[in-house]
């Protein structure tokens, strides 16, 4: 077949290659951070800023996990439920084994997250259920099951040692959450540079090509879901640590995570976008929330502002690349 695409000049391409589709999100992030500086000069004092990062950590981790799933061409709507379940289960476990070591409980949560992810992955790949539905169902199941088990509210409290990770700081100044966040981020970036990452994106881009190139597409996708589940579990540990027992710790986080990833210029439908941009998206979102708090925007109006900005940002991103995107029939399902 002859080339249907117009050739594009080199410099333009290098730029996109370097920044991926994430340019708008970096711009947005900068704007927001500047705005924060203007609103509240002390925002950049070390502890304040670290506190901000610490607050953003769970969402960033979720975004990293969600990115893996989205870039492979799927969805994970169950992460919010996993976070809620994680926090409640942890409390419940402490309710029964008050003196369990925090590491044990944490590992239990991570394992649980992995198992949920595994279920998501297997149902989606082996049973051919669209991941949107799989994870939507999983969301209902998790929320239902956890509360059915705990009779609505957890019976235990989260002890300090468990909460340290989400709440306290190393060497008195560096929040553990920030460290975890950095670790996860680094791991995600490393992962995407490895064979797994590359094959994952290829799978999201063209499943048949990947399969015919020897990629075990099912295994790769399942692994993505598992990692997303693990990320959610980590987020649960941080959230639980940060704010203690709550029956709605993860409410709405799935949408926040997806929004963050898309803000990062990652195309729903897979095959496009960088994990760094996705995490930048998460930071932007958190920065936005903080800005709205500091600006003292009426509590009720916050969501309106949020909605407008998200649409605008993504719209901008889309506009930048619309030419290209129209040519490669994006599987994102958005008519252009």
Which residues in the 48-107 window bind other proteins by CB under 8 A?
A: 48, 51, 55, 58, 91, 95
Surface-to-core class of residue 36, CB atoms within 10 Å of its CB (0-12 exposed, 13-18 middle, 19+ buried): buried
Instruction: Confirm or reject binding of residue 44 to other proteins (CB under 8 A).
Output: no
CB 30 to other proteins: min, Å = 21
What are φ and ψ of residue 253, in 5° steps?
A: -65, -30
The residue within the footprint of other proteins, chosen from 101, 104, 183, 334 (CB under 8 A), is 334
Tokens standing for residue 199 = 């094959």
Cβ 55 to other proteins shortest distance, Å: 6
CB of 246 to other proteins, least distance (A): 4
Indicate the residue among 179 and 243 with the shorter CB distance to other proteins: 243
Binds other proteins (CB under 8 A): choice among 262, 275, 279, 282: 262
**CA dist., res. 328 & res. 54, Å (int):** 39
Q: Does 1 bind other proteins (CB under 8 A)?
A: yes
Geometric angle at alpha carbon 147, from 141 and 152, rounded to 5°: 155
Interface positions, 186-215, toward other proteins (CB under 8 A): 195, 198-199, 201-202, 205-206, 208-215
Of 40-48, 60-68, 108-116, 182-190, the segment contacting other proteins by CB under 8 A is 40-48
Which residue number, 4 or 171, has a Cβ lying nearer to other proteins? Answer: 4
| Euclidean distance between CA atoms 108 and 237, whole angstroms | 11
Instruction: Return the axis-axis angle of helices 46-71 and 79-96, rounded to nearest 10°.
Output: 120
Residues 235-254 that bind other proteins (CB under 8 A): 239, 242-249, 251
- According to the binding rule CB under 8 A, does residue 293 interact with other proteins? yes
Confirm or reject binding of residue 170 to other proteins (CB under 8 A).
no
Count Cβ atoms within 10 A of the Cβ of residue 214 and give its class: 0-12 exposed, 13-18 middle, 19 or more buried: exposed
| Residues contacting 273, CB < 8 A, separation 6+ | 20, 21, 22, 67, 70, 71, 261, 264, 265, 266, 267
Query: Interface with other proteins includes 109 (CB under 8 A)?
Result: no
The CB-of-282 to other proteins minimum distance in angstroms stands at 14
């Amino acid at each position: 077949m002859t080339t249907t695409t117009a050739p594009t000049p080199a410099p333009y391409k290098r730029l996109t290659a370097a920044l991926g589709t994430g340019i708008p999100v970096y711009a947005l992030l900068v704007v927001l951070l500047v705005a924060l500086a203007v609103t509240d000069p002390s925002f950049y004092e070390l502890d304040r800023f670290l506190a901000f990062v610490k607050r953003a950590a769970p969402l960033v981790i979720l975004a990293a996990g969600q990115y893996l799933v989205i870039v492979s061409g799927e969805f994970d709507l169950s992460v919010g439920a996993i976070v809620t379940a994680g926090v409640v289960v942890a409390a419940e476990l402490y309710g029964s084994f008050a003196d369990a070591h925090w590491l044990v409980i944490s590992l239990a949560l991570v394992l649980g997250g992995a198992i949920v992810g595994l279920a998501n992955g297997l149902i989606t790949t082996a049973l051919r259920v669209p991941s949107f539905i799989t994870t939507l169902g999983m969301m209902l199941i998790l929320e239902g099951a956890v509360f059915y088990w705990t009779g609505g509210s957890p019976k235990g409290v989260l002890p300090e040692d468990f909460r340290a990770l989400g709440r306290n700081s190393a060497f008195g100044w560096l929040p553990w959450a920030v460290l975890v966040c950095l670790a996860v981020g680094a791991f995600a970036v490393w992962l995407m540079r490895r064979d797994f990452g590359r094959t994952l994106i290829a799978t999201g881009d063209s499943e048949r090509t990947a399969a015919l190139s020897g990629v075990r597409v099912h295994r790769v996708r399942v692994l993505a879901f598992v990692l997303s589940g693990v990320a959610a579990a980590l987020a649960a540990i941080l959230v639980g640590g940060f704010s203690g027992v709550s029956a709605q710790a993860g409410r709405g986080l799935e949408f926040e995570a997806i929004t963050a990833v898309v803000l990062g210029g990652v195309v729903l439908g897979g095959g496009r976008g960088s994990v760094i941009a996705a995490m930048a998206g998460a930071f932007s979102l958190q920065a936005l929330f903080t800005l709205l708090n500091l600006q003292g925007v009426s509590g009720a109006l916050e969501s309106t502002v949020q909605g407008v900005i998200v649409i605008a940002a993504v719209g901008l991103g889309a506009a930048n690349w619309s030419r290209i995107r129209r040519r490669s029939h994006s599987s994102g399902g958005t008519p252009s």
